[in-house]
Amino acid sequence: MKVAILDGYVDEPSCLGVPPYIAPYPRYIYGMLRNFKVVAKYLTIDHLRDNPKVREELKNFDLLIIVGGIAVPGKYLGGRPLEKRELFSLNFSEKNVFVGPMAIEFSKKEIEQLRDCNIDVLMFPFEKELFKYLCNFFKEKMELDLDKFSILGAEVVKQHPDYPYVICEIETYRGCYWGKCSFCIERFQGFWMRSAEAVLSEIKALYDLGVRYFRLGRQTDFYTYLADFSYEIPKPDHEKLKNFHRAIWQLCPKIKTLHLDNVNPKTLATYPEESKEITKTIVTYQTPGNIAAMGLESADERVIKKNTLCATVEEVMTAVEIINEYGSAFGYNGLPSFLPGINFVIGLKGETKETFEKNLNFLEEILEKGLLVRRINIRQVKILPGTPMEKVGYSILKKHKKYFRIFKNIVREKIDVEMLRRVIPKGRKITDLRVEIDGEKISFARQLATYPILVGLVGKFQRNSFLDGRVVDHGSRSITAVKIPLDLNRSSFEELKMLLGEGKAKEIVKRRPFKDLEEVKSILGREVELLL
């Protein structure tokens, strides 16, 4: 029996699976198939696009399981997600089945059209339906156990194109304690809290396979993992979270990245003392460069009320202050240990021209207070069937298109650049940059991290090489750096000019070669430290 998993990538409010990430879904599916004694082939949509022969190969397969869906669209460096129009041509195998958040977007007509193309669509969330589908397909009856499948399916990471430089998104719990926001798909998820033991076992299984990069994601609020959900706003348990983190490092002592994803600011504002203790634990046990993505969505009270958004402006500011208090110090990789990220959604009910002014005022207040924010995400609402925004549609978004562009440009040119200068100042050494695009004059690299900063490295460097860099310039969403340590006798004039200025660069070129750094000190003085 030949079965393949085609990863079209997912991006949801609580889950990311675009390379170098791999979402839990392909691992669960691979584990399900292992449970039926089937070893599946895993491939990505990018691999399929780039290799026409693979299409012919898949025609000999008995079953193709396609995963995909971008519920919160973004810009991606590591891969191009599967598009709906592409799906209709992915009917290679004898049987084809599609699963993932994209299924929410399909109309009844589109589902019928896909069936006519020999592609079955399973509703989202899909795990129960897919396992039932597989039981019928293999003519066996078994019990659904995602914790078990997460371990059985761990080995699929070895087929990922970025392995071993792959970040595994780990599901801690599913669902949202708020679940009322007008646009969000988390309302479809149901609720499932995984035990600490199950999560630890999965991390250990991946670690034993050579994985060193992890993000504790998939949940909508990391601060309420293992919390007491008998309260209207779940009460965090900082002792349980501390023990959980200690156990990760006891089992996996050589992890290189341990980050988290979502944080609900309402939790921090409601339980500030417990949240401060959790923040200390995160700073202590997770790796630097960490980001707590927080959904403000809008700083307009009218929009907050009409869309039943979770947190008020004041609550978000409180959460930003708590995380800054303990997480803003620089870590060993050159980045602050733990900072908040702010998400805005444009096009919601109640939005007016004044909404954009309030959003901007909120960000300016953060700057004025000297607080740090690592990431400001501004996206246009995506209308999904079954959400309250379905009745509104894109009318508000279309009406405010001009205001959206103006607001976004101001944030990128005024707020983002200044914030980047504070978060990663000029001259800062940043480490463990993985080259992803090997350009001629500029190569592009990122740390393997949650929401990593894009770094333009001056020069041509081999893909998948790991380098350290010295920051020399800032954009709105990226920085420019020069590789260090810098060999003054071989480095290009462009590298020297970017790092030291044109005058000193000319002097270096004129007087080289140098025997040692002592000779250089007469030209650079204390600036010689920039080379190291």
Q: What is the CATH number of the domain that holds 433?
A: 2.40.50
Q: Are residues 370 and 248 part of one domain?
A: yes
Is residue 132 assigned to a domain? yes
d(CA 69, CA 13): 12
What confidence score (pLDDT) does residue 440 get? Answer: 87
d(CA 497, CA 470): 13
What confidence score (pLDDT) does residue 399 get? Answer: 96
Q: Are residues 476 and 419 part of one domain?
A: no
Q: Are residues 186 and 57 part of one domain?
A: no
Residue 532 has pLDDT above 90, yes or no: no
What confidence score (pLDDT) does residue 502 get? Answer: 94
Query: What confidence tens digit (pLDDT) does each residue in 241-257 have?
Result: 999 999 999 999 999 99
Residue 295 has pLDDT above 90, yes or no: yes
Q: Are residues 60 and 175 part of one domain?
A: no
The percentage of residues in the chain with a pLDDT greater than 70, rounded to a whole number, is 100
Query: What confidence tens digit (pLDDT) does each residue in 459-504 have?
Result: 999 999 999 999 999 998 999 999 999 999 999 999 999 999 999 9
Range of the domain at 134: 3-146
What's the total number of domains in the chain? 3
Query: What confidence tens digit (pLDDT) does each residue in 80-125 have?
Result: 999 999 999 999 999 999 999 999 999 999 999 999 999 999 999 9
d(CA 287, CA 338): 8
Within a 13 Å sphere around the CA of 104, how many CA atoms are in the beta-carbon half?
A: 26
Decide if 66 contacts 10 (C-beta within 8 A).
no
Nearest 5°: the CA angle 241, 246, 249 is: 130
d(CA 222, CA 512): 53
Q: Are residues 186 and 101 part of one domain?
A: no
Residue 516 has pLDDT above 90, yes or no: no
